[in-house]
Structure 1
Amino acid sequence: MSDNITRLLRGDEGEVLYAYNDHLGFATIGIGRLIDKRKGGGITPEESAYLLANDIMRKSMDLDARLPWWKTLSDARRGVLLAMAFQMGIDGLLGFKNTLEAVRTGQYDRAADGMLQSMWAKQTPERAKRMSEQMRTDQWKFKEGT
């Protein structure tokens, strides 16, 4: 039954790989997956963890390709670059040319200072402060309550 029901639903529902509003105006994704909170939609914690793991893998592969030296950093410092790429996209992270050069050459205080002087730090000050401290100290800095 699973192959047939999958074929049936793919044919009837279609497959859309981004959020869209269905014919009744409810947020949906994939093959008719209701995600609209108004109708009890959403995803499970397990599905969220699966998506996050895939996103981390993809961003890591992008960083491997675009900043191959990032693999030589400690876990905590790689975490900063990955978190920034996650938030701003790889191209957004690559805009931090001076900061990235400071990281590449081991000038972590300079890199942290550069992070704090950016537009990103003005837009997300608490996150930027945590990430810059993580870069500076090589110690993980988690948001309180997580």
Structure 2
Amino acid sequence: MQTVTEQGLQELKEQLLRYEGLSLTAYKCTQGKLTIGIGRNLIDKGISLEEAHYLLNNDIAETLAQVNSRIAIFTIINEPRKLVLLDMAFNLGVAGLCKFKNMIAALERQDYQKAADEMLDSRWARQVGQRAQDLARKMVEG
């Protein structure tokens, strides 16, 4: 089997970047395939399990930093409740989570039942069903 030198690989990367372009968001290529990055065909190739976990780890780190900076009570509540907020933020986006003002106010009062009730009294809860039920239970139980 023939190998390619590091220099050759670098030249190939530069060439592919020049011809394929770089997009950090998904787009349809000239063949109508959903594509991202430097020519990654998401329809035919998708991503590997390792890549999915890499992306997840990055997304969790970003979500954690945003929730930590935008919701003051986050640093004080216990870990199970932090995980509830992070799960919600991952699903809704941090801006969406911040719209749960009554839930956050209940957390600040340490009224976990009321926080759970506020979670369940939402369009989000109706959309995600069992997920909301599970997270509300974890909010109460801590």
Report the equivalent of 1:23.
30
Distance 2:72 2:40 in 1: 37
Superposition RMSD on alpha carbons, in Å? 1.0
Residue of structure 2 equivalent to 1:7? 14
CA distance in 2, matches of 1:44, 1:131: 29
Deviation larger for 77-86 or 119-128: 119-128
105, 123, 130: which one pairs with 1:126? 130
Gaps of 5+ in 1: 139-146
Aligned AA (2:105): E
Give the structure-2-normalised TM-score: 0.91
Which residue is equivalent to 1:91? Answer: 95
Q: State the partner residue of 1:107.
A: 111
Following superposition, the deviation at residue 76 of structure 1 comes to: 1.0
Superposed CA deviations along residues 100-145 of structure 1, whole A, max 9, x for unmatched, are 111122111110111111111111121110110010111xxxxxxx
Partners of 1:122 and 1:17 lie apart in 2 by 32
Q: How many residues align?
A: 135
- For structure 2, which runs of at least 5 residues remain unmatched after alignment? 1-7
Q: Deviations over 1:62-91 (max 9, x none)?
A: 012111330222211101101111111111
After TM superposition, the runs of 4+ consecutive aligned structure 1 residues lying more than 2 A away are none
> Secondary structure at the residue paired with 2:93?
helix
1:116 partnered with 2:123:
no
| Corresponding position of 1:142 | none
TM-score by length of 1: 0.88
Contact in 1 for aligned 2:73/2:107 (Cα 8 Å): no
Cα distance in 1, alignment partners of residues 22 and 77 from structure 2: 40
Larger Rg belongs to: 2
